[in-house]
Amino acid sequence: MSTQITTPAAAAGLHGGGAQLPAAGGAGRPVLELEQVTKSYPGQPPVVALAGVSLSVQRGELVAVVGPSGSGKSTLLHVMGTLDRPSSGTAQVTGFDVAGLADRELAVLRSTRIGFVFQQFFLAEHATALDNVADGLLYAGVAARERRHRAAQALARVGLAGRAGFRPPQLSGGERQRVAIARAVAWERRLLLADEPSGALDWANGQAVFGLIRAACSRGVAAVVVTHDAQLASRADRVVYLRDGQLADQAMPGRGQQSPVEAGVNG
């Protein structure tokens, strides 16, 4: 019989604004599991962005997604983050079947279980780094004092304890991206999704940002990173290559397998 999650202690913060989530699937399952996922958009003919993608990501695993422009990488990330529902197939995120959740429940899932990092940072310019991170916990139902405490811890974790009172215009690009990562992992969400997180940064800062994502994985977070940087992708546990909305290839660089980009799969 299904039970209801009603308290932060019982559900690691799964509540917010009166909404609740039904109980998740069994323990030991992948953090993210896609099975024959398709996504199409209306048109004549319909635009098929994803065509039967099956992929699972385990706790503590870092997966890089690569592929040419228009291959479906952003759509895939949106489905993983529950920003889009699949047209067919199943998507399970931290044990929850996306198809079985109402929009409000999906919003709770995103605010409590999924962290997003984007190339554009999306920080409030008028707010301090501390407030930007703390406000990311607002819809997770975390009390104000606890939000600021966790925000300070997260900023310290990414090396910005001394910049907590600075606003984004006072920070470098690398520092702003680190604030965005701190915001994404402040509540130790189960899944971290990053869309070209190093795209607006120089090489050194890009390496540092990727290292921070790797550090989150060492604490048990599952991460999926969309990147065009073959060198960064080669630092992932697994590299998956998309072409025309389909999973065309994958490799495990840590086991001596060459990344699809490095192997020239993309022509």
pLDDT(136) > 50: yes
Query: What's the chain's average pLDDT?
Result: 84
User: What percent of the chain stands above pLDDT 70?
Assistant: 84
Q: How confident is the model at residue 258 (pLDDT cuts 50, 70, 90)?
A: low
207 token code pair: 């390496």
Topology of domain 29-255 in CATH is Rossmann fold (3.40.50)
pLDDT tens string 199-245: 888 888 888 888 889 989 999 999 999 998 888 899 999 999 999 99
Query: Would you state the pLDDT for residue 6?
Result: 27
In 3-state terms, the chain is what percent helix, strand and coil (to 5)?
Answer: 35, 25, 40
**Domain map of the chain by residue range?**
29-255
Q: How confident is the model at residue 259 (pLDDT cuts 50, 70, 90)?
A: very low
Can you give 183-241 as a three-state secondary structure string? HHHCCCCCEEEEECCCCCCCHHHHHHHHHHHHHHHHCCCEEEEECCCHHHHCCCCEEEE
CA dihedral (83, 91, 1, 27) positive or negative: negative
* Nearest alpha carbon to residue 20 among 5, 1, 2: 5
- Is the link from the previous residue into 68 a cis peptide, with omega within 30 of 0? no
pLDDT tens string 146-195: 999 999 999 998 999 999 999 999 999 999 999 999 998 887 689 999 99
The backbone torsions φ and ψ at residue 114, rounded to the nearest 5 degrees and listed phi first, read -120, 130
Q: Left, alpha or beta for 157 (phi > 0: left; psi -120 to 50: alpha)? A: alpha
Burial of 55 (0-12, 13-18, 19+ CB in 10 A): buried
CA gap 204, 194 in Å, rounded: 18
